[in-house]
Structure 1
Amino acid sequence: MPRPQRREQFDSGEVGIVHVVQRCVRRAFLAGVDHATGKDFSFRKEWIRRRMEALASVFAVDVLSYAIMSNHMHQILRNRPDVCAQWSDEEVAIRWLRVFPGRRLEEHLAEPTENDVQMLVRNKERLAEVRSRLSDISWFMRALAEPIARMANKQDECTGRFWEGRFKAQRIVDEAGLLACSMYVDLNPVRAAMSTTPETSPHTSAYDRIEARKGEQIPSAAFDLKPIPTEEAGCEIRETPVEILQEKRKAKRRNPTGKRIRRDGWLSPLTLSKTTLSAEPEVHTQGVRSSDRGFLHIRWSDYKRLLDWTAAQSVAGQVAELPNRLAHTLSEVGIDASMWRDLVWDWQKYFGKSSCVGRPESMKADAERNGHRHHRGQARASACFG
């Protein structure tokens, strides 16, 4: 079966959830300890996390879960064209110009001004294209991957690829697949024997949520969504030395808004509200993420218990009994509780080569929607779902 086209996996005009995997070139440890040279590049994981956090503040894309490893990263993303449709033309323009300011002679001129925003607003055809791109997962990944590659190449004084190529995408079609995939992503460092528990697995969404509930706050990486007055920008450029302007720009890039947020404040909330109507976009208004919509019908406390239990089942054949409450939670979404450990720990066996994740009947329906009879891995995955 040929690899599905991107438009079959996600559409910028339709809400969808996708598991994304992006690998470093030759699977080298370019964000970890390089086995060949012994150099430790683990600090680049924070580069990636902060860039992801910044993009979550401007794109109509919710970051549901993520894990940044030494030679690859996982993300579960949900594009939100319904949220993007609620933004004014000025909001769309400033969001786009913050990420893609266009050509500038000097770095300090990259700050979008009120005039830049109004020029884009008046170009209705271009604005419509930009609005579509702000809810496009491909553009989100492009804005994430390219700057990291440039920064790493500059640091290493080299040229060439940092990432292996285009990201791999798996469409998630139901809550059973989403719960299993989210757990798989959060436990990636445990599966790789880099840590033993979610509490000791930094640069994962689980770690961020755990630390946030302890009260931890971090400097926000969110973009400042206020354009600079045109006259003020011109005056500053004329009267301030280039070196000082560049230092100001670097300082602002470290904390653009000057705010501190909960460690998980930029991530999508985990629990879906019971009172939420499906048609409500739940637009976020604090400038750190696109929406306030959760993604699972499960409380954080139950998710954390299931996460801890699954992390402890590292050895096949020595699986402890799953507590009744957690078994009931799994059965409610259609997952065979007796197969849960295998589903998460042997994820590659069931979904490694599939372009779609979910219960067999959901996968079949998605395949038929795109003119296919079935998805690869559909039959094998049926063993894990009730």
Structure 2
Amino acid sequence: MFSEVNEYQSDFMTTARKQLVDLNTTPYYHCVSRCVRQSFLCGVDKLSGRCYEHRKAWVEQRIYDLASMYCIDICAYAVMSNHYHLVVCINRDKAKSLDAHEVVLRWSMAHSLPDVIKKWQVGVPLDKAEQGAFDNFISRWRARLCDLSWFMKELNYDIARKANQEDECKGHFWEGRYKSQALLDESALIAAMAYADLNPVRAGVSNDPLSSEYTSIRRRVVSLANNQSQPDGLSAFRGNTIRKTDAGLPFKLIDYIELLDWSSKQFRPGKKTIKQNCPNILDRLKLREANWFNAITLLERKRSHFIGTKDNIDRRKIQLRLRRASGFCLNK
């Protein structure tokens, strides 16, 4: 069913993080973190029979907590037994627009404040040295509020701390630093979102993406059932006519749900749909079925730094002055 994956290969470990996460290229990224002690960390330990499923709720809630603090919008996510997927949009313009009060308010949601900030909060005049320190704090925190590495570090640290405390042990919880893939265009964005939301179906732990627990699509469906058009904490679907400068996802929610439902059937024997039933959104994005199936099954496994159309990957390769770019091509 799947055709050969089209890629641009390079040494995966040689590209610096600052090249992988470049907001001048794209604000959208697909992130993955994996546990170092395998599935029983968030699933069921086959040896002891002890269940750790409740930790999935830790990860999900922490994602929403940090999203309310950071200027980073959550497009999609899926929390699995030994890893999680996160598709985000980094809103640098929003961070730049925050005044000092808003920066302090957001940063104080998860961090203690230095004395000079507390002094400023109660209206005590600052001397020259204190004003300089104050300005440095605000500038540093504003930058961090749209920093993906800071977001992921705080997400993973909190979960690791709680899990180690529960296990009464020390040591690494996560398998090193998170992995990230830059999503260079709309095709890459929707492919990464679908890849995340379809994870439970692809893994065989769920038959229906709309009912898969600890996924963004499940949260969206529950919100619809409660007559809430857009769930709090998730980036909203705005339709395919929005401008690039507008906030929100450039798709219709109904089209995305239809795409997930159609795609999930491709994983189930006897449930494959005929070509005539291919969702219209794939035609609009000029994505062939074979390329789409490759994306929703192999997007992460090929360890590509960049995901997008051939032209966008080639353009990114030139920007980084790379002879070869590790990219997952969606239209070749």
Q: Same fold (TM over 0.5)?
A: yes
2:262 corresponds to 1:295: no
Give the C-alpha shift of residue 314 in structure 1. 0.9
User: What is aligned with 2:146?
Assistant: 135
Structure 1 counterpart of 2:273: 320
CA contact (8 A) 2:195 2:296 kept: yes
Instruction: Tell whether the 8 Å contact from 1:12 to 1:137 is kept in structure 2 after alignment.
Output: no
CA–CA distance in 2 between the matches of 1:33 and 1:263? 33
Tell me the distance in 2 between the aligned counterparts of 1:53 and 1:305: 25
Partner of 1:344: 296
Which aligned pairs between 1:144-155 and structure 2 lie closer than 5 A?
Answer: 144-155=155-166
- Bigger relative contact order, structure 1 or 2, given CA contacts below 8 A and separation 6+? 2
Per-residue CA deviations over 1:285-341 (Å, capped at 9, x if unaligned) read xxxxxxxx2223x31111111111111111579732144561x32122121135433
* TM-score, structure 1 as length reference: 0.74
Alignment of 1:231-380 (within 5 A): 264-272=231-239, 274=241, 276-279=242-245, 293-296=247-250, 298-315=251-268, 319-323=272-276, 326=279, 328-348=280-300, 352-378=302-328
Mapping 1:211-226, distance limit 5 Å: 211-215=222-226
Q: Residues 66 and 186 of structure 1 are in contact (CA less than 8 Å); yes or no, is this contact kept in structure 2? A: yes
Q: Which runs of 4+ in 1 moved over 6 A?
A: 117-122
Shift of 1:353: 1.9
Alpha carbons of 1:41 and 1:103: their partners in 2 closer, same or farther (altered >3 Å)? farther
TM-superposition CA deviations, 1:230-266 (whole Å, max 9, x none)? xxxxxxxxxxxxxxxxxxxxxxxxxxxxxxxx88311
Partners of 1:12 and 1:132 within 8 A in 2: no
Q: Deviations over 1:189-230 (max 9, x none)?
A: 00111110013211101111111100078xxxxxxxxxxxxx
Partner of 1:88 in structure 2? 99
Is 1:125 the counterpart of 2:136? The answer is yes
Three-state SS of the structure 2 residue aligned to 1:64 is strand
Answer yes or no: is the 8 Å Cα contact 2:230–2:236 preserved in 1. Answer: no
2:79 to 68, 82, 93: 68
CA distance in 1, matches of 2:191, 2:308: 9
Partner Cα distance (2:114, 2:138) in 1:
18
Deviation of 1:157 (Å): 1.0
Give the counterpart letter for 2:134 in structure 1: N
How many angstroms does 1:72 deviate by?
A: 0.3
Q: Structure 2 regions of 5+ residues with no counterpart?
A: 1-9
**CA shift digits 1:154-198 (9 cap, x unpaired):** 111111111111000111101111111111110000011111001
Distance 1:190 1:149, change over 3 A: same
Structure-2 change in CA distance of 1:359 and 1:316 (3 Å): farther
Post-superposition offset of 1:360: 1.7
Which letter maps to 1:332?
A: R
> Secondary structure, in 3 states, of the residue corresponding to 1:305?
helix
Q: Is the 8 A contact 1:59 1:134 kept in 2?
A: yes
Shift in alpha-carbon separation, 1:185–1:164, aligned structure 2, 3 A: same
Contact 1:66–1:73, Cα closer than 8 Å, also in 2: yes
CA distance in 2, matches of 1:197, 1:38: 27
CA contact (8 A) 1:331 1:337 kept: no
Q: Deviations over 1:102-134 (max 9, x none)?
A: 599xxxxxxx96756878986112211111011
Query: Could you say what secondary structure the match of 2:28 adopts?
Result: strand
Unmatched runs of 5 consecutive residues or more in structure 1: 105-111, 218-261, 281-292
Question: How do residues 7-46 of structure 1 correspond to structure 2 at under 5 angstroms?
Answer: 7-11=18-22, 16-46=27-57
Calculate the TM-score normalised by the size of structure 2: 0.85
* Distance (Å, rounded) in 2 between the aligned partners of 1:268 and 1:362: 24
| CA distance 1:316–1:336, shift in 2 (3 Å) | farther
* Alignment correspondent of 1:287: none
Report if the CA contact (8 A) 1:61-1:80 is conserved: yes
Residues paired across the two proteins, number: 314
What do you get for the CA RMSD once the two structures are aligned? 2.8
CA distance in structure 2 between the aligned counterparts of 1:139 and 1:194, rounded to whole angstroms: 31
1:103–1:31 CA distance, 2 compared to 1 (3 A) = farther
Range 6-15 or range 67-76, more displaced:
6-15
